[in-house]
Each structure stands twice: as structure tokens, then as C-alpha cells.
């Protein structure tokens, strides 16, 4: 038995929660991330029951020369976890809403679907992403783009407080408001967007909420023959209405029996929109897109905050995917024509989806840059594209290459880590921010104990 294994066996006997080692029956299920294409074999998988367990895990890993990473779901799993204890914070499931203070508090195991359910009836909205199974902490500390971001900014900017166990095993609460805690101010700055570099095991987060009594939106699907007209109309709408949430793109539904018959094997253009306000105004916006082509599906409807995930209607079950993201510097009609051609070229090798979200609005607001690592996004669009690694004839590199080429021809510069697919934080941040992130990492985790899913530079 190695020294590390002996140390982990000793740790297991001290925990209230569970610790699974490679020989344990449940280890394979526990190590598996949401993205089933990522193979990761950590030294152990820990399910701490409480903060004291997290402290014991951190101290034992440090003493045994192991690393620590926290991965609620593995949406952003990046592979290689050799010599690392993987922490699954499932037991940290508290959810509370302080309506007068407009603050949402959740434990590190809570996904956005559960958090949004807790907001039902409050008249408040949080800056959730599009998928209910993405974790609240995981999205927020990696930047976080929400359909509400053009109105209220990136999710990272809404972080009011974080509670974590640091590399020394100490429990810390950081708000950035304590004048006597300069390291804490730097730490919350780093965690507002640069969290993937690994600064501790976060156990709870508090996020600012915003008024949002009436919501309207949903998805529109069009045959691919209308793609250029529809996407150009939607992007023009986005330029004219800078606080409207929009996701515009194309999808190729796999030719698999699990697909609904009317979509199986079909290529389509998609437009999702979210308007905070009344139905009549929202329908007026959507009519500008509906005026250029007849949709094959129209799910526009007033909805409540707990129903937000239905607007995007994304798959929630674990699946094998390869992804790529970038910010894009163009959004005019000539660019749209290139985008559609690039998608169709990728689709012939199995490309499944490519979505572009107009940014601008509050995400372009440089105010408060000193409060958050994630900067103002000046590019007009962010792209996120992916391949479902299933079915015949799928070649992920060939499928993604036309969109990689498109992004290289239309660079946006900078971006939002959570929307960029795999890769270092250097893809998203300006050099000054990277230097400051490295300084914070060196100050709070000098031994490099915490392994996030992205290095600071490549
Ligand atoms: C289907 C799908 C839809 C998505 N939609 C959006 C979207 O609309 N907007 C958007 O911005 N992003 C979106 N994303 C990207 C997603 O926000 C990131 O991949 C995010 O990092 C996932 O967080 P997770 O905790 O669920 O995943 P994980 O892979 O489990 O965690 C990601 C990383 O976050 C860090 N981390 C998470 N929790 C903790 C913690 N408690 N303590 C310390 N570190 C922690 C770790 O570095 C970890 O490696 C989407 C991803 C998918 C797969």
C-alpha cells in the first residue's frame, strides 16, 4: 500500500461523509463527470458531510502530497486528476432567499434548477445559465453568462459572498467589504470569474438578485434554408434592444431513434429570447424574427423564473461531447453568411450545435472592473459549439474546425471563461488580470494544492 493510500484510508475513518478509493465498488460511478467523453481517475472521490469534513480532506491531501479539486457535476471536467482528491459537494444542499435584501444563498452542491425553483413567487431573478443541471457555484466563479446578463451583467459580478476552506484548512467568508482583509478582497476579486484556477473548496455562495416580476420568451425553430435571414434578423434585433436575452444558432439533430421523428436527422436554425417585462413588448420583439420566415416550432410564452430552463430546453442527462467556444468580433450580415456555411461544413462531420449569444448591454459595462476578474466583454457575440460524440460518421476535430476557422477570422478578444469550452484562462483575460490572478493564487494557495479545471495560462 502506498503512503498516499494509507493516508486516504486514515482520512476515510475520520470522515462523517464518504471517501471512495479506486478499489471500491462505487468509485467508477462517483468519478464519472457529466461530460462522459472525459476520462478522469482521481486518487479518491470524497463526499464530505459538512465543513469539518472538507477541512479534514484538505489537510490530509496536503500532508499526503495530493491535490484537491471540487467538481459538483463535471460539466467543465478537463481530464487528468491523477494524484488528486475529487470533492463532490452534494451534501451542501441549503437554498434560501432573502427577498428584502435580494440575496440568494445556496450550498456548493446546488444546481441552478433547484435555485430557480426557490425564487418562484419572489418577484426576483438570479443570473442563471441556460441549463438547470449546471451548478450555481461552478457557473458563477467561471464568469457565468445568463439570458439576463445583457440587463444585469455576468453572474460573477453578482457574487456577494463566498464561504470556503482554504489551503491551510481555515474556514473563510469573503465579501470584499472588509477593509482589514486585503487578501480576502483579492480572493473574491479572483473568484468573480477566475475561479477555475482553484483557490479553495467553496462550501456556500451568496448572489445578488434583481427584480423580474414578468418574463416572456422561448425558442423558435426554423428550417435551415431560412438560416441566414433568421439569424441576421435576430442579431439586428439584439443590436436594437441591448438588454434582450438572445441565443441564436444552428443545430443538426442526430439521426438516432431517440430523436423526435419530425427533427431526426434534420438541420435547423434556432432563436431563443428572454425579455424581462410584459408579453406584448416581448411578442413585438419576436415578430421581427417571425416576419422573415415561418417557424417549424414556436414555444414563445410568458413564463416564471422557475421555468427558465424550459426556454433553452437543453439536454440534462450526462453525455459525451467535444466543445469549443470563442468571442466573435463581427455580427453583420456577411458574417452571418460565413457562420451558416461554417456550420454546414462542420455538420457534414457530425457538428451538433453552434449557438451565438449577443453580449453588449450590461456585460460591456466597464464599471466595477476592479471588483471582478472577469472584465467587460466588448465583443458583440460569444460562440459556443459542440459535437455529440455518438452516432455514425462523427469526427470531432473535422466537425469543429470550420467554426474554429471562423473565430480566427473574426476574433472578439477576451471573453467569459464558462462560455469558452476547455482551455486556459488566458483565452479570456487581459494580461494584467492574468498577472493579478497568478498573484492571488500564489498568496492563498502557495503550494498549488487546489487544481481547478483551467490553468491561468496555457
Ligand atoms: C449543457 C451546458 C450548458 C451550459 N450553459 C451555460 C450558460 O448558459 N452560461 C454559462 O456561462 N455557462 C454555461 N455552461 C458552462 C458551465 O457554466 C461551466 O462548465 C461551469 O464551470 C460548470 O459548472 P459545474 O459546477 O456544473 O461543473 P464542474 O465541472 O463540476 O465544475 C467546474 C469547475 O468549477 C470549479 N468549482 C465548481 N464548484 C466549486 C466549489 N464548490 N469550490 C471550488 N471550485 C469549484 C472547479 O474548478 C471545477 O472544475 C454550460 C455547460 C453545459 C455542459
Furthest C-alpha separation in the chain: 69
How far is Cα 28 from Cα 55, in angstroms, rounded to an integer? 25
Burial code (b: 16+ CB inside 10 Å, e: under 16) for 310-348 equals: bbbebeeeeeebbbbbbbbbbbeeebbeebbebbbbbbe
Q: Is 146 helix (H, G, I), strand (E, B) or coil?
A: coil
Q: What is the pLDDT of residue 26?
A: 96
**Atom nearest to 200 CA in ligand 1:** 43
For a substitution probing ligand 1, which of 33, 46, 93, 129 has the most ligand atoms within 8 Å of its CB?
129
How far is Cα 148 from Cα 156, in angstroms, rounded to an integer? 13
- Give the Å distance between the CA of 74 and the centre of ligand 1: 7
- Give the Å distance between the CA of 176 and the centre of ligand 1: 23
Q: Is 438 helix (H, G, I), strand (E, B) or coil?
A: helix
Residue nearest to atom 4 of ligand 1 (CA): 131
Q: What is the pLDDT of residue 1?
A: 65
**Atom nearest to 143 CA in ligand 1:** 11
- Give the Å distance between the CA of 1 and the centre of ligand 1: 35
For a substitution probing ligand 1, which of 38, 68, 76, 155 has the most ligand atoms within 8 Å of its CB?
76
CATH number of 95-211+429-444: 3.30.465.10
| Nearest one of 217, 231, 223, 238 to 299, comparing CA atoms | 217
Q: What is the pLDDT of residue 272?
A: 97
Residue nearest to atom 3 of ligand 1 (CA): 131
How far is Cα 363 from Cα 102, in angstroms, rounded to an integer? 20
How far is Cα 241 from Cα 361, in angstroms, rounded to an integer? 9
Q: By 3-state DSSP, what share of the chain in percent is helix, strand and coil, each rounded to 5?
A: 35, 25, 40
Q: Are 141 and 452 in contact (CB under 8 A)?
A: no
Residue 6 cell numbers, joined: 494509507
Extents of the domains making up the chain: 3-87, 95-211+429-444, 215-425
Q: What is the pLDDT of residue 263?
A: 81
Q: What is the pLDDT of residue 314?
A: 79
**Atom nearest to 417 CA in ligand 1:** 11
What's the pLDDT tens digit per position in 5-42? 999 999 999 999 999 999 999 999 999 998 888 899 99
Residue nearest to atom 25 of ligand 1 (CA): 138
CA 381 → CA 177, 362, 414, distances in Å?
A: 33, 13, 11
Interhelix angle 51-64/3-14, rounded to 10 degrees, is 170
**Atom nearest to 131 CA in ligand 1:** 3
Q: What is the pLDDT of residue 368?
A: 65
CATH match for 3-87 among 3.60.21.10, 3.40.980.10, 3.20.190.10, 3.30.43.10: 3.30.43.10
Q: Are 269 and 291 in contact (CB under 8 A)?
A: no
Q: What is the pLDDT of residue 181?
A: 85
For a substitution probing ligand 1, which of 68, 72, 92, 424 has the most ligand atoms within 8 Å of its CB?
72
Pairing state between β 124-125 and 103-107 = unpaired
- Give the Å distance between the CA of 70 and the centre of ligand 1: 11
Which residues form ligand 1's pocket by a CB distance below 6 Å?
Answer: 69-77, 89, 108, 129-131, 134-135, 137-139, 141-145, 195-196, 198, 201-202, 314, 418-419, 452-453
Residue nearest to atom 19 of ligand 1 (CA): 76
Interhelix angle 227-240/279-290, rounded to 10 degrees, is 140
Q: What is the pLDDT of residue 369?
A: 65
Residue nearest to atom 51 of ligand 1 (CA): 75
CA 219 → CA 269, 282, 292, distances in Å?
A: 11, 13, 16
- Give the Å distance between the CA of 138 and the centre of ligand 1: 4
- Give the Å distance between the CA of 71 and the centre of ligand 1: 8
For a substitution probing ligand 1, which of 38, 115, 138 has the most ligand atoms within 8 Å of its CB?
138
Distance in Å from the first CA to the final CA of the chain: 35
- Give the Å distance between the CA of 289 and the centre of ligand 1: 31
CATH match for 215-425 among 3.40.462.20, 3.30.365.10, 3.30.565.60, 1.10.3210.10: 3.40.462.20
For a substitution probing ligand 1, which of 35, 92, 142 has the most ligand atoms within 8 Å of its CB?
142
Spans of the chain below 70 pLDDT: 1, 366-369
Amino acid at each position: 500500500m502506498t503512503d498516499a493510500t494509507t493516508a486516504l484510508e486514515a482520512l476515510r475513518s475520520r470522515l462523517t461523509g464518504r471517501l471512495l478509493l479506486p478499489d471500491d465498488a462505487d468509485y467508477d460511478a462517483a468519478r464519472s463527470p457529466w461530460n462522459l467523453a472525459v476520462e478522469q481517475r482521481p486518487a479518491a472521490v470524497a463526499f464530505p458531510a459538512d465543513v469539518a469534513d472538507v477541512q479534514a480532506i484538505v489537510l490530509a491531501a496536503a500532508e499526503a502530497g495530493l491535490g484537491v479539486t471540487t467538481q459538483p457535476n463535471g460539466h467543465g471536467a478537463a481530464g487528468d486528476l491523477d494524484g488528486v482528491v475529487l470533492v463532490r459537494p452534494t451534501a451542501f444542499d441549503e437554498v434560501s432567499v432573502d427577498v428584502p435584501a435580494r440575496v440568494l444563498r445556496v450550498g456548493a452542491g446546488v444546481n441552478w434548477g433547484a435555485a430557480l425553483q426557490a425564487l418562484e413567487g419572489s418577484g426576483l431573478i438570479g443570473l442563471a445559465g441556460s441549463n438547470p443541471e449546471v451548478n450555481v457555484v461552478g457557473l458563477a466563479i467561471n464568469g457565468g453568462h445568463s439570458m439576463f446578463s445583457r440587463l444585469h451583467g455576468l453572474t460573477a459580478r453578482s457574487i456577494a459572498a463566498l464561504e470556503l476552506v482554504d489551503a491551510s484548512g481555515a474556514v473563510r467568508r469573503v465579501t470584499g467589504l472588509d477593509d482589514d482583509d486585503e487578501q480576502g478582497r483579492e480572493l473574491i476579486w479572483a473568484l468573480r470569474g477566475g475561479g477555475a484556477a482553484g483557490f479553495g473548496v467553496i462550501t456556500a455562495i451568496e448572489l445578488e438578485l434583481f427584480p423580474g416580476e414578468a418574463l416572456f420568451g422561448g425558442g423558435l425553430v426554423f428550417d435551415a434554408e431560412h438560416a441566414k435571414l433568421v439569424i441576421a434578423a435576430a442579431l439586428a434585433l439584439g443590436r436594437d434592444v441591448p438588454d434582450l436575452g438572445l441565443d441564436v444558432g444552428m443545430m443538426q439533430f442526430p439521426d438516432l431513434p431517440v430523436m423526435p421523428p419530425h427533427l431526426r436527422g434534420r438541420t435547423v436554425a434556432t432563436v431563443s429570447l428572454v425579455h424581462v417585462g410584459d408579453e406584448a413588448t416581448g411578442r413585438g420583439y419576436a415578430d421581427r424574427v417571425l416576419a422573415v420566415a415561418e417557424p417549424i416550432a414556436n414555444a414563445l410564452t410568458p413564463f416564471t423564473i422557475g421555468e427558465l430552463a424550459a426556454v433553452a430546453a437543453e439536454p440534462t442527462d450526462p453525455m459525451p461531447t467535444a466543445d469549443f467556444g470563442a468571442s466573435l468580433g463581427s455580427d453583420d450580415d456577411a458574417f452571418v453568411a460565413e457562420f451558416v456555411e461554417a456550420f454546414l461544413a462542420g455538420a457534414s462531420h457530425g457538428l451538433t450545435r453552434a449557438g451565438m449569444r449577443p453580449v453588449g448591454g450590461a456585460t460591456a459595462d466597464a464599471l466595477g472592473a476592479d471588483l471582478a476578474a472577469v472584465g467587460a466583454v466588448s465583443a458583440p457575440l460569444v460562440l459556443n459549439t459542440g459535437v455529440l460524440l455518438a452516432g455514425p460518421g462523427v469526427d470531432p476535430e473535422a466537425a469543429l474546425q470550420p467554426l474554429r476557422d471562423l473565430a480566427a477570422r473574426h476574433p472578439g478578444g477576451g471573453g467569459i471563461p464558462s462560455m469558452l469550452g476547455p482551455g486556459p484562462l488566458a483565452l479570456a483575460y487581459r494580461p494584467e488580470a492574468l498577472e493579478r490572478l497568478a498573484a492571488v493564487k500564489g498568496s492563498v494557495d502557495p503550494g498549488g494544492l487546489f487544481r481547478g479545471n483551467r490553468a491561468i495560462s496555457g
